A and B are shown apart, each in its own frame.
Chain A
Amino acid sequence: MSNTRKLTMAQAIAEAISQEMTRDPNVFVMGEDIGAYGGIFGATGGLLDKFGKDRIMDTPISETAFIGAATGAAAAGMRPIVELMFVDFFGVCMDQIYNHLAKNTYMAGGNIRLPVVLTTAIGGGYNDAAQHSQCLYATFAHMPGIKVVVPSNAYDAKGLMMQAIRDDNPVMFMYHKGIMGLPWMAYFEGSSNDVPEDAYTIPFGQAKVVREGKDLTIVTISQMVQKALLAADELARAGVSAEVVDLRTLVPLDRDAVLKSVAKTGRLLVADEDYLGFGLSGEISAIVAENLDTLALKAPVRRLAVPNVPIPYSRPLEQFVIPQVGGIVEAAGKLMTARLAEGAAA
């Protein structure tokens, strides 16, 4: 194993891109403010100096054009990485993504490869309001044809980014702003961790049990993993042993890891920063419900997510709608005392 250093998630992502660009001349990066600025969230820091303007290309604010161009360039043999600053901005170019990038391989009967990585920042918690704070990973996971990667820490981010670049399919790589380790935004320090200098990949579709426990399972992803770990510490002090499962990728989804953990603990809490309705928490709950013939629950499943309202600006409102550490602890407590209906197997 090579030397490791503590990196922020932003540094880990930039390093993964840099190493893949060195290895493969077909990899290049396009996007807004990714050159001299180094990406608004630092995901392309230092790359312009290393690779020059031909491979680190600042774009006009023309997302339909440059994301569509990524699809075209990929079909022609290149491996573009394309950043679109905030996931909230995808509306301006969604047709090129969900009708073309996501579907062309299928409509071609598998006869074309579209190795495109779309990178974008997600998440709230710093009062940037309704158009700059969403997660929306479930929206992209809902639509067939795009793999969806949502790391919770620097180590995973590097390995998952390398895997994303090497994958021959479209990948959405979504990084939460509040775990990037930026010098201008509060972040969860557990997200900066030891990262090997050498290249490595982390396969998609492998969730990680980031904390073992026996009383309940918290299934989560992205920044919420860091919140869940802090909540698990608090719960432990109260005598409750929580297992925390970091899904790491939504597409493909590691159903077995969810089922295995819930079979062990008998209780499921999904903690999610995306919207509650028709989303991740519903999907995970459904997977468990579909398998109640082989696993037994001790309590009904609980879901924590953003209620179906846009993210409000004002601090007390935003703190109320986005699940916090205290909210996870509270929900876990309720889960521990909840009971199934009489007659239900336990």
Chain B
Amino acid sequence: MQASKETLLWMYEKMVEIRHYEETMANVYLEGKLPPHIQKGLAFDIGSGPVPGEMHLAAGQEPVAVGICAHLKIEDTVVGTHRPHHFAIAKDVPLDKMTAEMFGKVTGLGKGKGGHMHLFDPVHKFSCSGIIGASLPPACGAGLAAKKMGKDWVAVAFFGEGAANQGSFHEALNLAALWNLPVIFVCEDNQWAISVPKSESTSVDCVADRASSYGIPGIFVANNDALEVYEAAAPAVERARRGEGPTLIEVKTDRYLGHFQGDPEAYRPKDEVANLRKNDPIPKLAGVMRRLGMLSDGDEAAIVARAKQRVADAFDFARQSAYPAARDALDDVFV
């Protein structure tokens, strides 16, 4: 499927927004976490600052999120991973409430109870989890619900290549194939399961090959390229909407940052990220659009300015919001 100008502009703007969001978060996350403001002897304190706890950022992985979500409607479900911001942004989860959640504020998506790995937006039908491989079964459930309710909604489960070795991956693919569910399983292959490379954890080179075990189509996208993802996803989403069942898509993508912020990454070859950044997907898409006459310098400047403003507004909202009252911790276990 050829992407329209409108779609290309949407993907480009979302990628710029995601990248800027992640880079902003990388800086904000360090606030209060470095000497001399922390316990003597520590290099870094994960529990300090305005955004404490683990932080998994997706800079470099934008094409997967936008190339898939460009096909989705608000009624379609997306289930993300422990590294969820790019999916959430591509699914139009409100940036201000999402950011407030990461600051632990009462205005956050989960009133500060969830944090960055546990973002829930029922309006935009987005959720995620900190457990590897946890996205696939609930996506089957969303697909099952759509089918039972007679809707043409689809569900997308994003997961990393490391999750393809979890039981939940195999069980969910079988279930979705058996029940002909409208699910698109999207493997975000960034080559690293924290420190363990794919070659040392996975019995096949290509996760998409595993689709054949379940009798469903498997599509391999070899480049970290938004257009390639978009084009590969089109038949999968159409197939799901027509009620013809699930598809497995694997996308090669690049993790620019550590598994989590503060990861020393001693396991990673020193020049790997610098080399990956030479093929950055954002200027790549801009170049394509310029050649097609779809992006002027003025357009680009306006897109970048808008995206940066949205991110700045979201962080301002989060900082200015109040913390929940301590006793609020006891609420919301049940409704």
Give residues in A with beta carbon < 8 Å to B: 32-33, 35-37, 40, 58-64, 88-89, 91-92, 125-132, 183-187, 307-310, 312-321
Chain B binding surface, main DSSP class: loop
Among B48, B105, B168, B196, residue most surrounded by chain A Cβ atoms (within 10 Å): B196
Residues of chain B within 8 A (CB-CB) of A184 are 42-46, 262
Contact A186 B324 (CB under 8 A): no
Interface residue stretch chosen among B211-219, B303-311, B325-333 = B325-333
A129 & B118 in contact (Cβ 8 Å cutoff): yes
State in angstroms the CA–CA spacing of A183 and B46 once bound together: 10
Contact A314 B112 (CB under 8 A): yes
User: Chain B residues with Cβ under 8 A from A317's Cβ?
Assistant: 104, 112-113, 324, 326, 328-329
B195 touches A319 (CB 8 A): no
| Contact status A315-B54, CB under 8 Å | no
The reply to whether A131 and B131 form a contact with Cβ atoms under 8 Å apart is yes
State whether B194 touches A33 (Cβ < 8 A). Answer: yes
| A61/B44 contact (C-beta < 8 A), A33-B196, A127-B52, A309-B330 known | no
- Asked if A128 and B39 sit within 8 Å, CB to CB, the answer is no
Cβ contact within 8 Å between A60 and B201? yes
Confirm or deny: B323 has a beta carbon within 8 angstroms of a beta carbon on chain A.
yes
Whole-angstrom distance between the alpha carbons of A132 and B54 in the complex?
A: 9
Q: What are 15 A-B contacts with C-beta separation under 8 Å?
A: A37-B266, A40-B194, A58-B196, A60-B201, A92-B166, A127-B52, A128-B53, A132-B53, A132-B117, A184-B45, A185-B47, A307-B330, A314-B324, A316-B323, A317-B113
Question: Which one of B110, B130, B165, B327 lies within 8 Å of A320 (CB-CB)?
Answer: B327
CB distance from A85 to the nearest CB of B (A): 9
6 pairs of A and B residues whose beta carbons are closest in the complex = A314-B104, A126-B47, A313-B115, A314-B112, A127-B52, A320-B326
B129 within 8 A of A: yes
Which chain A residues lie closer than 8 Å to B38 at the CB level? 186
B residues near A320, Cβ cutoff 8 Å: 326-327, 329
Given contacts A59-B196, A61-B166, A321-B329, 14 further A-B contacts (CB under 8 A): A60-B162, A62-B167, A89-B132, A128-B54, A131-B118, A184-B44, A184-B45, A185-B46, A185-B47, A309-B330, A313-B113, A315-B52, A315-B323, A317-B329
Find chain B residues with CB under 8 A from A58 CB: 195-196, 200-201
- Asked if B201 and A61 sit within 8 Å, CB to CB, the answer is yes
Residues of A within 8 A of B329 (CB): 307, 309, 312, 317-318, 320-321
Residue pair B330, A313 in contact (C-beta under 8 Å): no
Q: What are the residues of chain B within 8 A of A131 when measuring CB–CB? A: 117-118, 129-131
Question: Distance (Å) between the CB of B185 and the closest chain A CB?
Answer: 16
Known: A32-B193, A33-B195, A307-B330. A187 touches B324 (CB 8 A): no
In contact, A129 and B46 (Cβ under 8 angstroms)? no
Whether B196 lies near A32 (C-beta < 8 A) is yes
Query: Which one of A32, A63, A89, A187 lies within 8 Å of B194 (CB-CB)?
Result: A32
- Chain B neighbourhood of A186, CB < 8 A: 38-39, 42, 45, 47-48
With a CB–CB cut-off of 8 A, which chain B residues contact A307? 329-330
The minimal Cβ–Cβ distance linking A71 to chain B, given in whole angstroms, is 16
Q: In the complex where A131-B118, A184-B44, A314-B323 touch, is A61 in contact with B162 (Cβ < 8 A)?
A: yes
The answer to whether A132 touches B130, judged by C-beta atoms less than 8 angstroms apart, is yes
Q: Give chain A nearest CB distance to B331 CB in angstroms.
A: 8
Contact B133 A61 (CB under 8 A): yes
| Contact pick for B45, options A129, A132, A185, A316, CB 8 Å | A185
CB distance from B53 to the nearest CB of A (A): 4
- Whether the Cβ atoms of A36 and B266 lie closer than 8 Å is yes
Quick one: CB contact mask for B104-126 with A, threshold 8 Å, 1 for yes? Answer: 11001011111101100000000
Cα distance, A37 to B268, chains bound together (Å)? 10
Cβ–Cβ contact B42 & A313, under 8 A: no
Name the CB-closest residue of B to A178: B47
* Closest partner residue, chain A, to B129 (CB atom): A131
A8 to chain B, nearest CB (A): 10
Residues of B within 8 A of A35 (CB): 195-196
Closest to B162 in A: A61
CA of A130 to CA of B119, assembled, Å: 12
B136 in the interface, Cβ–Cβ < 8 Å?
no
> Does B183 make an interface contact (CB < 8 A)?
no
Q: Could you say which of A89, A92, A127, A316 contacts B115, with CB atoms under 8 Å apart?
A: A127
List B contacts of A309 (CB < 8 A).
Answer: 329-330, 333
**Beyond A186-B39, A309-B329, A310-B333, is A316–B324 a contact (Cβ under 8 Å)?**
yes
Question: Are A313 and B112 in contact, CB atoms less than 8 angstroms apart?
Answer: yes
Which B-chain residue is minimally distant from A319 (CB atoms)?
A: B326
Q: Tell whether A92 pairs with B167 under 8 Å between CB atoms, given A184-B42, A186-B42.
A: yes
For A313, what are the chain B residues with a Cβ–Cβ distance below 8 Å? 53, 101, 104, 110, 112-115, 118
Which A residue sits closest to B327, measured CB to CB? A320
Chain A residues lying within 8 Å of B101, measured Cβ to Cβ, are 313
Chain B residues with Cβ under 8 A from A125's Cβ? 47
Q: Mark B30-53, 1 if CB is under 8 A from A, else 0.
A: 000000001101111111100011
B39–A64 CB distance below 8 A? no
B168 touching A92 by the CB < 8 A rule? yes
* B131 nearest CB across to chain A (Å): 6
| A184 closest partner in B (C-beta) | B44
Are A126 and B113 in contact (CB-based, < 8 A)?
no
Of A60, A313, A315, which is in contact with the most chain B CB atoms at under 10 Å from its CB? A313
Minimum CB–CB distance for B170 against chain A, Å: 10
Within 8 Å CB of B117, what residues of A? 129, 131-132
Are B167 and A316 in touch, CB under 8 angstroms?
no
> Given A128-B53, A128-B54, A184-B44, A316–B325 Cβ distance below 8 Å?
yes
Q: Do A62 and B47 form a contact, CB below 8 Å, given A91-B131, A314-B324, A320-B329? A: no
Q: What string of 1s and 0s marks CB contacts (under 8 Å) between B313-335 and chain A?
A: 00000000001111111100100
User: Is B163 part of the contact surface with A, judged by Cβ < 8 Å?
Assistant: yes
> A63, A185, A321: which has the most chain B beta carbons within 10 Å?
A185
Q: Which residues of A contact B333 (CB under 8 A)?
A: 308-310
**Whole-angstrom distance from the CB of B307 to the nearest CB of chain A?**
26
Bound CA span A127–B103, Å = 11
Contact A126 B131 (CB under 8 A): no
